[in-house]
Amino acid sequence: NSVDIAWDLLMSDSFQKLRTKIASNPDELRRFRQLVVNSVMATDIMDKDLGAARKARWNKAFAQGSERAKEDTVATNSRDDINRKATIVIEHLIQASDVSHTMQHWHIYRKWNERFFIECYQAYTSGRAEANPVDNWYKGEMGFFDFYIIPLAKKLSECGVFGVSSDEYLNYAVRNRQEWEERGQEVVASMIEKVERREASQEVDCEGRREKAPLHNRGDDMTRMMHHLTRSSG
């Protein structure tokens, strides 16, 4: 896949100088590879075991108010603690980038939500997906905001990785969730109408091509017949 290709390129002689900037020794290179793998795996939000492991790592890195957190205050600047926090923050940054449209302005969210809906609908109609997105898109988005997007935005806000912008992303996520609750069913109906119009237009276009095909075929037959007669008479 793309990660394997990218890694092979990084390991090639052409990028030797870049590698030395990323990692100065084999241990650092192994650490970097582990970080890359963890970051890519972080985008798999359907795996419950991976999700539970990430949650445990987050709680360990950013536990607040617990006795363990108070006892570890002195060691917060240790190398292991810093690495643990950096790793889990990067994983969550990758997750956020994967769904960044949900934490931006409503029009941005609507644009990419519709494109994803069309993609899922085309996968269903072509037989590449079992579920019809029409059936559960509205409720699915509500659950997506409640159980994934808003909790993720809260974590990013808590760790302060984006500074003052962290609150902005959380506020956008909350507002988009509220607006989806109010207008989501209307939006879904509009998207369904759009894909159905597109399908109807494609069907008309296909019918028009099929109607023209016989004339084209007859022209080919006439050409072959004339060629045959010419050769025969010669």
Return the percentage of the chain with pLDDT > 90, whole number: 47
All residues at 6 or more sequence positions from 72 whose CB lies less than 8 Å from its CB, including other chains: 81
Count of residues making up the chain: 234
Three-state secondary-structure class, residue 78: coil
Collect contacts of 98-102 with beta carbons under 8 A, ≥24 apart. Answer: 98/43, 99/148, 99/149, 99/152, 102/144, 102/145, 102/149, 102/172, 102/173, 102/176
Q: How far apart are CA 122 and CA 59, in angstroms?
A: 40
Task: Give the 3-state secondary structure of residue 130.
Answer: coil
160 CA to centre of own chain: 23
Using one digit for the tens of pLDDT, what is the confidence trace for 26-79?
999 999 998 898 888 888 888 888 888 888 888 888 875 444 444 444 445 577
d(CA 112, CA 98): 12
CB 102 within 8 A of CB 109: yes
pTM: 0.71
Residue-averaged pLDDT of the chain: 82
Q: Which has more confidence, 115 or 83?
A: 115
Structure confidence at residue 233 (pLDDT): 44
